[in-house]
Structure 1
Amino acid sequence: MKKFSKYPILLFVYCAVALFVLSYCKNDKHQPINEDLGSVKSQILKNNSDFEKQIKELINLISQNADEKLLQEKFDHLRKTYKKMEWAVEYFLPHSARFINGPALPEIEMDEHTEIEPEGLQVLEEMLYPYHQKNKDEVIRLLNKLINKSNTIDTNFQVITISKDQVFDAVRQEVFRISSLGISGFDTPVSGTFLQEIPYSLEGVKQTLQQISTDQSREKALKSIVAEINTAIEVLKKNTDKNTFDYVNFIPDHFNKITSLLLEFKKQEKIPEVEVTTALNKNAATFFTKNAFNPNAFTPGKEFAYSDEKATLGHQLFNDKILSNNNNRSCATCHIPEKAFTDGLAKSMSLENSELARNAPSLNYAGFQHGQFWDMRKDDLEGQSADVISNKEEMHGNLEVILSKINQDKNYQSKFKKIFHSQNTEIWQLQNVLASYIRSLATFNSDFDKYMRGNKSAMTENQKRGFNLFVGKAQCAICHFIPLFNGTVPPTFKKTEQEVLGIAVTGDNKAFDQDLGRGKFHETVATLQHSFKTPTLRNINKTSPYMHNGGYKTLKEVMDFYNKGGGKGFGFKVDNQTLSDSPLQLTDQEIDDIIAFMKALDDR
């Protein structure tokens, strides 16, 4: 990640924090704090007090022109202190958390077409690794802003009511955060110290569970969780080198065991569900449990909820040319199942047999994204289907005409009536069944999934090496997040990221591609120019050619592009490139291993 020019902070962000806290915590179902939960709050406040003291100490050291090594040491200690209370801040104060430890990129207010300056620990990391005294005043300014965030934490946790179900939910969410963002180095892209930080996050989890436990679990699930956390911490302490750490075994051998045991703890403690729809199902033992993800977290509303009946009807319509103007093209024309629902072309062909602007994206796992198309111009799959059908170059269909045909077709009419219990089919229902079919395409049955579920023979040795490189040295997982391997950010999966890579027209990387991507719809937002959605890598082996323009014919070309540092690495002027321009220094064998791993993401 690169540092961007500064933008003024908008006052309403802080107002939003306060409003969130009040609305989140005002819940009649949550009982007043008992003694144990009071101790939980006390511990949060103590950690935050330590956090503020360490910030002030760092300000003093910088003011006294301390040497770089000491500043980095104190900063690392500061990050570890935050990690002890991260579970609470991320859950109860997510807006504050974004500005304490979010990416060193501007926060974009899409509706306002504005950018809010990045701040917090990741921005400070960029300025301290390495540290230049010319940045002294700016570092102190950012540290003072961090003190303000610490004050927000203190103010809110002094007054809010937290309940046992919320605390458990927050702790569980933290373990999933560690096993996706934490283990990938998302928080420390420059220093790479994340393996040293994870034990502090796990200690925070362990301590909190001990505080909310009763005799129901102390000699059962809690005892096992504590043992697993202690074992994981010992493994982490033995090797803190991100380039040689054994991620492929650590996740199933440790993280998966901890998250599974958390459900046992919940059962033994009789902790009720927090009643909110989430992408990760509340009963999912791990990220890799069958049906771990809830597609309804990505729908426009309750009436759009997924069902097998909707998906079956959507499959029929997906393959029916009734959706096009002249009955000569179906959705399946450009989204072929054998090619992971792409068409194998660099750019899809129009109805007039001319090239369209972009490559046909895969529909596999498209349901787990907030933003459809490469430029994310539609929020959900319902909007995506209407856009494609009505596009003059793609299907040139008219939704009202199509609806009339469907309402005159007894077969379709009876099926829609059975599902929606209405006399006549409506446009939103047509969109919904098509979207439901696409949501059904996420099967999570790759060799990688099987390995993570405990089948240690499911992946080859070079695929396992490839995964370790993918997470470690190659840093792929800081954009293609485990386990969806797309840009939808775990563990809440409420936001899908876009990236600026500096893509070339073709894989020879000689000419910069001028497509503005998402920037076309936000002309005044500099950081969105030439940005594109981060797609899933699941089934990537089946979807060549690659990138939004189809200019890269093979995965080897794609990996060479990343290995050189993206567009900047090839000399393109991409001031807003979000991909690090530092060469990855991957060998040919390492690239081959990463490609082998990506093949393990093919659904069987």
Structure 2
Amino acid sequence: MKKLSKYPIFLFLYSAAALFILSYCKSDKHLPASEDLGSVKNQIIKNNDTFEKQINELTVLVSNNSDEKKLQEKFEELRKTYKKMEWAVEYFLPHSARFINGPALPEIEMDEHTEIEPEGLQVLEEMLYPYDQGNKEEVIRFLKKLINKSNTIETNFQVITVSRDQVFDALRQEVFRISSLGISGFDTPISGTFLKEIPYSLQGVKQTLQQISTDQSKNKALKSILNEIDTASEILKKNTDKNTFDYVNFIPDHFNKITSLLLDFKNQEKIPDVEVTTALHKNAATFFSKNAFNPNAFTPGKEFAFSNEKAALGQQLFNDKMLSNNNNRSCTTCHIPEKAFTDGLAKSMSLENSELSRNAPSLNYAGFQHGQFWDMRKDDLEGQSSDVISNKEEMHGDLNVILAKINQDKKYQTAFTKIYHSQKTEAWQLQNVLASYIRSLAKFNADFDEYMRGNKSAMTAHQKRGFNLFVGKAQCAICHFIPLFNGTVPPTFKKTEQEVLGVAVNGDNTTFDNDLGRGKFHETVATLQHSFKTPTLRNINKTAPYMHNGGYKTLKEVMNFYNKGGGKGVGFKVDNQTLSDAPLQLTDQEMDDIIEFMKALDDKNP
């Protein structure tokens, strides 16, 4: 079986999955005992029965050596059936969902430095497009694994309690999933059938909303949602060509309307919020609503919660040279606000005025990532700040010395005492205010945001064409996810991806860059070698030069690299490359349009 090189590596911690399931599959505390959502569970089980039947039918076709076209037709039926119940499986059984429709790349147990074989629909897609009868037994083996996952779905939904608030939350997540992952073709990288599948996902949402509505005749929002779903589905059925579909208008004109109407439905039905902290606020009407995202979903704990007071104090310290050993540099030395908090150099300079090993990443939107630095060696911004301060080449500061200075400075000590109500400033508090300032740098006020909020004059014709190419032909959005445009995976935003691109030392693409990236910390995990965090593209126009090594001077050099198929495409041996090595076949004008679109991601000055 050839190895799929379409997606970044997914990291999954089993303990986290278990916690997620427990939090969402608790007994219903909002509804009276007499109210039963058995009809919802029955529908899930019914769809799953069809799913299992179709798996068996596909197994028979493979066993009987049916031709490729028949196998692909049955496989597409199978995927469409899964899409009808995707909202439920992804929400209530996230671990199973990962092995039913997750990327065809190994799961990695980070603590154990081990890999788990991928399985599911995307692995099968890779083997069926095109189909090689030499892989017959392998295809059957993976189909049997899929049967086991189908059995897991039935077993779980027969016993768990599914409450109305959870179902609504799951449906809302599904629409946001479609608005980002679904519309980009994230889970159909080879077949490209995603536009055909979205109506089936919407059908599952539509049917379940009708089931949880207490009085359909009086719920005006429900009627509006059903009409909008029907309208969107008809448009999708008319054009299933990913290269010509009008994404730039479809998202604000249809998906945004559906997610907004869902909040009206929730209010009319008096459905309470599920009490779980999420990255997307429960009252966010769309992905692009102002203040849609909750920075506290990315902090280490409640005591680290964001506040404007913390951010203001953090800004003062960010600009204060007391954080360095010799009081000769501040954080702004390498993170200049006018350059989207980069320094404009290929590689930052050390205290001794020599090149460091990597390019200074932008701090804008860094607060919406699980993993800091290019190699993701720190989990959060608090850890990042202490690492930089204490690094001998960067600031060579001593936290104990810095804290002593702060505790002797009346202005700083008064500010820390007001925020944390402690007599002396502690290291975690210093880290927290610096992190809070960085979290405040996400403005979400670019022309693209304005366009998605309804201002159709906010982007130029070039930029609109560029966005359609970005999502469609160029496949940029399967790694730089809408709306953050980084590797933090919607709609739950619980994990951030890294990728292996096969980057060269510069835009000539003649010499491979040997930086191991995250692989340095996991030497026995082959798939992590030369992997780097997927950064945001917001403000990318301000942050040249590009890549972890700063070797690509312009966005056109970056686009040329992707257009050729990354490292493999330019001739490097990169067995674990996660980027597709298939040339994108973009013209110069199309690449220029995508670059123009990326300029629409520049934040405006506050």
Q: TM-score, normalised by structure 1?
A: 0.97
Cα distance in 2, alignment partners of residues 15 and 362 from structure 1 = 32
Q: How does 1:250-399 map to 2 (within 5 A)?
A: 250-399=250-399
Cα distance in 1, alignment partners of residues 375 and 22 from structure 2 = 35
Q: Which runs of 5+ in 2 are unaligned?
A: 6-11
Give the match for residue 65 of structure 1. Answer: 65
2:74 partner letter: K
Cα distance in 1, alignment partners of residues 365 and 540 from structure 2 = 11
Cα distance, 1:557–1:417 mapped onto 2, change above 3 Å: same
Q: How does 1:200-239 map to 2 (within 5 A)?
A: 200-215=200-215, 218-239=218-239
Q: Deviation at 1:126?
A: 0.4
Give the match for residue 119 of structure 1. Answer: 119
Cα distance in 1, alignment partners of residues 98 and 424 from structure 2 = 46
Give the match for residue 179 of structure 1. Answer: 179
- Is 1:84–1:201's contact at 8 Å kept on the other side of the alignment? yes
- Is 1:383–1:431's contact at 8 Å kept on the other side of the alignment? yes
- Is 2:504–2:511's contact at 8 Å kept on the other side of the alignment? yes
- Is 2:28–2:162's contact at 8 Å kept on the other side of the alignment? no
- Is 2:323–2:402's contact at 8 Å kept on the other side of the alignment? yes
Cα deviation, 1:514-556, whole Å, max 9, x if unaligned, reads 0000000000000000000000000000000000000000000
1:497 partner letter: E
- Is 1:217–1:269's contact at 8 Å kept on the other side of the alignment? no
Q: Deviation at 1:24?
A: 3.6
1:243 partner letter: N
Cα distance in 1, alignment partners of residues 542 and 71 from structure 2 = 48
Aligned length: 598
Cα distance in 2, alignment partners of residues 533 and 170 from structure 1 = 28
2:151 partner letter: N
Give the match for residue 8 of structure 2. Answer: none
Cα distance in 2, alignment partners of residues 4 and 258 from structure 1 = 34
Give the match for residue 193 of structure 1. Answer: 193
Give the match for residue 168 of structure 1. Answer: 168
Give the match for residue 504 of structure 1. Answer: 504
Cα distance, 1:256–1:327 mapped onto 2, change above 3 Å: same
Which SS does the other structure have where 2:115 is aligned?
strand
- Is 1:252–1:454's contact at 8 Å kept on the other side of the alignment? yes
Which SS does the other structure have where 1:130 is aligned?
coil
Give the match for residue 583 of structure 1. Answer: 583
Q: Which segment is superposed worse, 488-497 or 216-225? A: 216-225
Cα deviation, 1:441-489, whole Å, max 9, x if unaligned, reads 0000000000000000000001000000000000000000000000000
Give the match for residue 522 of structure 1. Answer: 522
- Is 2:27–2:161's contact at 8 Å kept on the other side of the alignment? no
- Is 1:2–1:577's contact at 8 Å kept on the other side of the alignment? no
- Is 2:219–2:268's contact at 8 Å kept on the other side of the alignment? no
Q: Percent identity?
A: 86
Give the match for residue 134 of structure 1. Answer: 134
Cα distance, 1:71–1:501 mapped onto 2, change above 3 Å: same
Cα distance in 1, alignment partners of residues 21 and 33 from structure 2 = 16
Q: Deviation at 1:35?
A: 5.7
- Is 1:33–1:162's contact at 8 Å kept on the other side of the alignment? no
Root-mean-square deviation (CA, aligned residues, Å) is 1.6
Give the match for residue 409 of structure 1. Answer: 409
Cα distance, 1:148–1:14 mapped onto 2, change above 3 Å: farther
Cα distance in 1, alignment partners of residues 29 and 435 from structure 2 = 35
- Is 1:243–1:473's contact at 8 Å kept on the other side of the alignment? yes
Q: Deviation at 1:219?
A: 3.9
- Is 2:27–2:163's contact at 8 Å kept on the other side of the alignment? no
Cα distance, 1:55–1:32 mapped onto 2, change above 3 Å: farther
Q: Deviation at 1:214?
A: 1.6
Give the match for residue 443 of structure 1. Answer: 443
Which SS does the other structure have where 1:190 is aligned?
coil
Q: Deviation at 1:26?
A: 2.6
Cα distance in 1, alignment partners of residues 544 and 600 from structure 2 = 16
- Is 1:36–1:211's contact at 8 Å kept on the other side of the alignment? no
Cα distance in 1, alignment partners of residues 518 and 17 from structure 2 = 27
Cα distance, 1:319–1:13 mapped onto 2, change above 3 Å: closer
Cα distance, 1:2–1:264 mapped onto 2, change above 3 Å: farther
Cα deviation, 1:40-75, whole Å, max 9, x if unaligned, reads 000000000000000000000000000000000000
Which SS does the other structure have where 1:147 is aligned?
helix
Give the match for residue 9 of structure 1. Answer: none
Q: Deviation at 1:140?
A: 0.4
- Is 2:24–2:166's contact at 8 Å kept on the other side of the alignment? no
Which SS does the other structure have where 1:413 is aligned?
helix
- Is 1:72–1:129's contact at 8 Å kept on the other side of the alignment? yes
Q: Deviation at 1:264?
A: 0.1
Q: Deviation at 1:3?
A: 1.9
Which SS does the other structure have where 2:462 is aligned?
helix
Q: How does 1:9-28 map to 2 (within 5 A)?
A: 21-22=21-22, 24-27=24-27
- Is 1:115–1:525's contact at 8 Å kept on the other side of the alignment? yes
Give the match for residue 561 of structure 2. Answer: 561
Q: Deviation at 1:218?
A: 4.4
Higher relative contact order (CA 8 A, sep 6+): 2
Cα distance in 1, alignment partners of residues 438 and 487 from structure 2 = 18
Give the match for residue 467 of structure 2. Answer: 467
Cα distance in 2, alignment partners of residues 26 and 445 from structure 1 = 38
Give the match for residue 573 of structure 1. Answer: 573
Cα distance, 1:160–1:316 mapped onto 2, change above 3 Å: same
Q: Deviation at 1:2?
A: 7.0
1:518 partner letter: R
Give the match for residue 8 of structure 1. Answer: none
Give the match for residue 9 of structure 2. Answer: none
**1:99 is the counterpart of 2:110:** no
Q: Deviation at 1:109?
A: 1.0
Cα distance, 1:448–1:17 mapped onto 2, change above 3 Å: closer
1:65 partner letter: N
2:93 partner letter: L
Q: Which segment is superposed worse, 37-46 or 210-219? A: 210-219
Q: Which runs of 5+ in 1 are unaligned?
A: 6-11
Q: Deviation at 1:216?
A: 6.8
Q: Deviation at 1:33?
A: 6.7
Q: Deviation at 1:36?
A: 5.7
Q: How does 1:525-540 map to 2 (within 5 A)?
A: 525-540=525-540
Give the match for residue 78 of structure 1. Answer: 78
**1:426 is the counterpart of 2:426:** yes
Which SS does the other structure have where 2:450 is aligned?
helix
Give the match for residue 456 of structure 2. Answer: 456
Which SS does the other structure have where 2:37 is aligned?
helix
1:337 partner letter: P
Cα distance in 2, alignment partners of residues 459 and 14 from structure 1 = 43
Cα distance, 1:394–1:217 mapped onto 2, change above 3 Å: farther
Cα distance in 1, alignment partners of residues 141 and 198 from structure 2 = 28
Cα distance in 1, alignment partners of residues 329 and 502 from structure 2 = 34
- Is 2:465–2:594's contact at 8 Å kept on the other side of the alignment? yes
Q: Deviation at 1:112?
A: 1.0
Q: Deviation at 1:31?
A: 3.9
Cα distance, 1:217–1:560 mapped onto 2, change above 3 Å: farther
Q: Structure 1 runs of 4+ off > 6 angstroms?
A: 12-19
Q: Deviation at 1:101?
A: 0.3
Q: Deviation at 1:37?
A: 1.4
- Is 2:219–2:265's contact at 8 Å kept on the other side of the alignment? no
